[in-house]
Amino acid sequence: MDVVIWSRIQFAMTAAYHWLFVPLTLGLALVMAVMETLYVVKKDEFWKKTAQFWIKLFAINFAVGIATGIILEFEFGTNWSNYSWMVGDMFGAPLAIEGILAFFMEATFFAVMFFGWNKVSPKFHLASTWLTGIGATISAYWILVANGWMQNPVGTTFNPDTVRSEMASAAAFWEVISNPVAVSKFCHSVTSGWVTGGIFVVGVSAWYLLKNRHSEFARKSLLVGAIVGLVGSGAVMLSGDSSGIHAAEFQPMKLAAAEGLEDGGNGAAFTIVPGIKVPHMLSLLATHDWNGFVPGINDILNGYTDHEGNVIPSVAEKMAMGREALDALAIYRSTEDPEIKAEALEQLNANVQYMGYGHLEKPEDVVPPVGVVFWAFRFMIGLGMLVALVLLLALFAVWKDKLADWKWLLWAAILCIPLAYLAGQCGWIVAEVGRQPWTIQGLLPVGVAISSLSAAAVQTTFIVFLAVFALFLVIEIRILIGAIKKGPEVEPLEA
Amino acid sequence: MTYVLLQNYWWILIALLGGLLVALMFVQGANLHLGNRSLSDTQKRMILNSTGRKWELTFTTLVTFGGAFFASFPLFYSTSFGGAYWVWVLLLITFVFQAVAYEFQNKKENLLGVQSFRVALMANGLLAPFLVGTAVGTFFTGSDFTVNKVAITDPSAPVISTWGNAWHGLEALGQYHAVLLGCTVMFLAAILGSLYILNNVDDEHIQAQMRRSVKLSIGPFLFFFLSWTVILLVRQGYAVNPEGVIYMEPFKYLHNLLAMPAVLVMLLVGVVLVLISLWQGAFSASRKGIWFAMPGTVLVVMSVFFLAGFNDTAYYPSCTDLQSSLTLDNSCSSYFTLKVMTFVSCLIPFVVAYIAYAWYQMDRKKITAQEIESTPDKY
């Protein structure tokens, strides 16, 4: 396998590991901040001890999120050298702002939250707990602005003198940070973290209830967790819907792959699983029109007219125009003759919007792995719905005071913890595998974004990172289980 | 705001972040004492918990330093990180272990035992300052890379920045001038660490050990720092003419120092502050040396960055292809990106203020053995 594949595998692995720790950080942050607020408002020691227990689990998880996160940031440079230069002007700013605005907030107030119980006032401590979570959430916003830009690169122009995509104007920055793809991605990712945090708290509390330990602590924690998780589930569904509309608008190939849609058409049906379809549903979701045209994979390859009447060229035509742009760029960069330079520039500008396509070898390169995206999409939705259902039932059981009786529900809640993680991973697979071969949609394919390294070098670091992360994951799970078994210090064992 | 002004402003911010990063490496230096056999386990945990309240600041500064470099001088990010691959990967691995070492080391389920995580912290304590110092050292010695922007039109080899050898950065270990800076930063971090613990922990034996450590480090630190500086001032440097053509100039960095009196003053004030802190740590009864050492370090590191990048100098030179060398002008972000980020940078004083407030609140009481033995809120 070549260096492109290894670079992708390494980045995907790092991102996937990072996303094992981030959702719990985002979700638990909200849960524990709510609990500590209850303590400060009600002045009830019970809530203090409860919050302290969940903060302890938060801290164990937080460390590994930091460890995987730093590797991700630097991999943009170490493994995606061309990418760093060619889009660094657009992509670097959100990353730097993330550091300045979010990371310092998280780092500073995490230390106060963790060590400060007996050092600062209860209100300052409460503020620190909230600020740790707010910092994590702001951080998610900026990195998803960066990611959203990769999916829908707004506000940029190609500069042949520097050979990169540049910020078109100071106002373009607002386009970048209010990019609709970024906004819905942020909402979708953060609230899916609330679901993960919610079901984690519900599941762990369910385990105490099954063991007949810490019953009051478990019931009240479960209630907070279920509410946070359900609010998250609702928001995940809404933002997921707008993510779908954005895919239809900006990344039709991703939508076609997620739907396994070979040939599109008017009034396209939504496939629930192969063989079961809802007529017209896909057109309605993607175009908000019962009979709107949704392109399939073959339409995109061969060219089509979209539901607004725009004629989209075939991939082969785009590749030819892209090749012309690249040839013109080569001439522009090598000649000193002002006339030839001007002519080359004109030819470049005429074709520049398809320049990324000029790097492709064959039209089929624009098709992502359909099977992977199709099934990841279904698992994401199916598992997400299942988790939401269990959260809803848990809330219902609290209301009817049936928690102790419905042992099956308690078991289901525990089982849903890994399922929520799986749903989150599937979500990122849809988002990232679904946009292959592009690092930047339409502008920069993965094969051109890389560093000049040997496959063996990247293979080596991949194996090292994989081993290190796997070790950390195993240790973290062991420590979490140990802390859960030990339990909160709220009341003596009841058993 | 002109483009040149913005470029210079961002180089100042990069220098500031670099200075803060080195100053905050007191965390790395202090963790070296986890291997001190004369300290009891409780005393080691006092040190661990003292750095444990600060390590995320150092770590975050590193991440922000990287992010800000990416945003303001992306060609450096793509050239150095993608090229000097092994140096950066090695640095990252030591930081990755550091990130989990605090939380994991005193948990019985940690599989590897407390000693392994202490070794990881000590490895980070030695290697992180050394590697960062050596990498900055190559700002003056040059590296083996080529930048060719037309490469992207060639499908068979599209990468713009390519490294010239398979060592991918490790060859810098053979450049003695860069290594001298690496050793300087390593001993500086050790001194900063000892001064910080001296200030932050109330324990007589620990304090005596810290003063001893400062005393032992003074010699090697001054030796490495002075030899690096002398060689810097006599070596030829990478100069840029107004057309952007890079050429070698004898005594370039000495010329820079004399051409920029403000930098000379910064450097001297910084050095004096560090010397005062050394005297306080080693030969007086004062525990406040760290408050001189940190600002002194920031000033010295900033002046080193200024010597590398200002006064028409290529800050990341290529010894393979002189014209591939990176200057502030040929490696920076676009005008609008720098401008937008300049507005964002106005929030930095606010960030510094809340960090200072939180630090003050948390450190009003020094760490004592009694606290470490009785509190549940500890690593």
pLDDT digits (tens, 9 = 90+) for A289-331: 899 999 999 999 999 999 888 999 999 999 999 999 999 999 9
A108 touching chain B per CB within 8 A: yes
Which DSSP state fits A451? -
Per-residue pLDDT tens digits for A61-84: 999 999 999 999 999 999 999 999
Share above pLDDT 90 across residues of chain A, in percent, rounded to a whole number: 91
Contact A78 B88 (CB under 8 A): yes
| Mean residue pLDDT across chain A | 94
Residues within 8 A of B (CB atoms), A 324-343 only: 326-327, 329-330, 333-334
Average pLDDT rounded to a whole number, residues A218-229? 96
End-to-end CA distance of chain B: 48
Predicted confidence at residue A490, as pLDDT, reads 66
A485 touching chain B per CB within 8 A: no
* Alpha-carbon B372 to chain mean position: 30
Share above pLDDT 90 across residues of chain B, in percent, rounded to a whole number: 95
Give the global pTM: 0.95
Residues within 8 A of B (CB atoms), A 376-415 only: none
Does residue A451 have a pLDDT over 60?
Answer: yes
Place of tokens 């600020």: A131
Average pLDDT rounded to a whole number, residues A342-358? 95
Predicted confidence at residue A495, as pLDDT, reads 37
* A492: confidence class by pLDDT, cuts 50, 70, 90: very low
A76 touching chain B per CB within 8 A: yes
Contact B289, B336 (CB under 8 A): no
Predicted confidence at residue A371, as pLDDT, reads 96
Per-residue pLDDT tens digits for A93-122: 999 999 999 999 999 999 999 999 989 999
Contact B70 A96 (CB under 8 A): yes
> What is the distance in angstroms between the Cα of B327 and the nearest Cα belonging to chain A?
14
Q: Amino acid identity of B233?
A: L
CA B198 – CA B212 distance, rounded (Å): 11
Closest CA in chain B for residue A120: B361
* A189: confidence class by pLDDT, cuts 50, 70, 90: very high
Predicted confidence at residue A494, as pLDDT, reads 40
Closest CA in chain A for residue B352: A104
Please report residues of B whose CB lies closer than 8 A to that of A454: 166
Contact A478 B347 (CB under 8 A): no
CA A276 – CA A296 distance, rounded (Å): 18
Residue in A73, A468, A474 nearest the CB of B63 = A73
Per-residue pLDDT tens digits for B103-130: 999 999 999 999 999 999 999 999 999 9
* A491: confidence class by pLDDT, cuts 50, 70, 90: low
**Cis link prior to A437 (omega < 30° from 0)?**
yes
Contact A148, A213 (CB under 8 A): no
Contact B320, B164 (CB under 8 A): yes
**Cis link prior to A368 (omega < 30° from 0)?**
no
| Mean residue pLDDT across chain B | 96
> What is the distance in angstroms between the Cα of B71 and the nearest Cα belonging to chain A?
4
Predicted confidence at residue A493, as pLDDT, reads 42
Report which of B128, B64, B109, B112 is spatially closest to residue B348, judged by C-alpha positions: B64
CA A196 – CA A23 distance, rounded (Å): 6
Identify from A100, A120, A352 which residue to disrupt to test chain B contact, counting B C-beta atoms within 10 A and taking the largest count: A100
Helix and strand numbers (H, E) in chain B are: 17, 4
* B69: confidence class by pLDDT, cuts 50, 70, 90: very high
Contact A333 B93 (CB under 8 A): no
Average pLDDT rounded to a whole number, residues A146-163? 95
Predicted confidence at residue A192, as pLDDT, reads 97
CA B192 – CA B194 distance, rounded (Å): 6
Residues sharing a CB contact under 8 Å with residue A371, sequence separation 6 or more, in sequence order: A260
Contact A452 B162 (CB under 8 A): yes
C-alpha dihedral over A310, A311, A313, A318, to 10 degrees? -40
Q: How many CB atoms lie within 10 A of CB B268?
A: 13
How do beta strands B237-240 and B246-249 pair?
Answer: antiparallel
Least confident of A85-99, B198-212, B273-287, B291-305: A85-99
Contact A455, A388 (CB under 8 A): no
Does residue A43 have a pLDDT over 60?
Answer: yes
Place of tokens 């990967």: B89
User: Between vectors from CA A203 to CA A202 and to CA A209, what angle results, nearest 5°?
Assistant: 85
A180-210 vs A407-433: helix axis angle to the nearest 10? 160
Residues sharing a CB contact under 8 Å with residue B65, sequence separation 6 or more, in sequence order: B14, B17, B18, B21
Contact A479 B337 (CB under 8 A): no
Contact A100 B348 (CB under 8 A): yes
Contact A326, A355 (CB under 8 A): yes
Average pLDDT rounded to a whole number, residues B256-277? 98
Does residue B31 have a pLDDT over 90?
Answer: yes
